[in-house]
Amino acid sequence: MYSESLLPKLEDLARRAAEPADVDVAWVEFKSEGPRWILRVFIDRESGVGLEDCKQVSERLGVLLDVEDPIDSSYTLEVSTPGLDRPLWKQRDYERFEGRLARILTKERLEGRQRFHGRLAGIENEFVLLDGDGRQWRIPLSLIERGRLEVEVFSKKGQSSGKARKHS
């Protein structure tokens, strides 16, 4: 497929564009959506990224793409953040977001289920630890089909605003 063979080159160019802005490339997508191609670059850093970071990377990457010219058809370039409900792709993602609420789908059943929901509790010997449903699940990284953070909204006191609270 056109996008798969080109992806390593696009990832390299994206990393080169992101380096001066001191941001990481979380992942790159290049795929057709209807009649047009979209190059999406998702950037991130521990302290977060903003609109100015996206703009800088987009401008640098645009120049690199013009010079190197790896894509022989028209396309749209989008640079953005992974979002609050970001996917979890790599071991370092599961480590970085320890303590956060997440959903995990496995490629095959693990103790009778494939869908898991709970708080990330770390990594141990290639297993993601997830606290949910009153226990700690040990999910092999190799069995994870998809992982995604859940959006959590907190009040000023740090309580989740999704729970009903009794007022006196």
Q: Is residue 129 part of a domain?
A: yes
Q: Is residue 33 part of a domain?
A: yes
Strand, coil or helix: 121: strand
Kindly state the DSSP code that residue 79 receives in the 8-state scheme: E
Say which CATH number the domain at 136 has.
2.30.30.180
Average pLDDT over the chain reads: 89
Environment class of residue 11 by beta-carbon count within 10 Å: exposed (0-12), middle (13-18) or buried (19+)?
middle
Do 76 and 101 fall into the same domain? no
Q: How confident is the model at residue 159 (pLDDT cuts 50, 70, 90)?
A: very low
Q: How confident is the model at residue 163 (pLDDT cuts 50, 70, 90)?
A: very low
Express each pLDDT in 102-132 by its tens digit.
Answer: 999 999 999 999 999 999 999 999 999 999 9
Do 97 and 138 fall into the same domain? yes
Do 7 and 67 fall into the same domain? yes
Number of domains making up the chain: 2
Say which CATH number the domain at 22 has.
3.30.300.70
- Could you list the beta-strand ranges (E) of 17-152: 24-33, 36-44, 75-80, 101-110, 113-124, 127-132, 135-140, 144-149
Domain that holds residue 95: 91-149
Helical ranges in 38-83 per DSSP H: 51-68
What does the alpha-carbon distance between residue 101 and residue 131 come to, in Å, rounded to a whole number?
9
Express each pLDDT in 31-70 by its tens digit.
Answer: 999 888 999 999 999 888 999 999 999 999 999 999 999 9
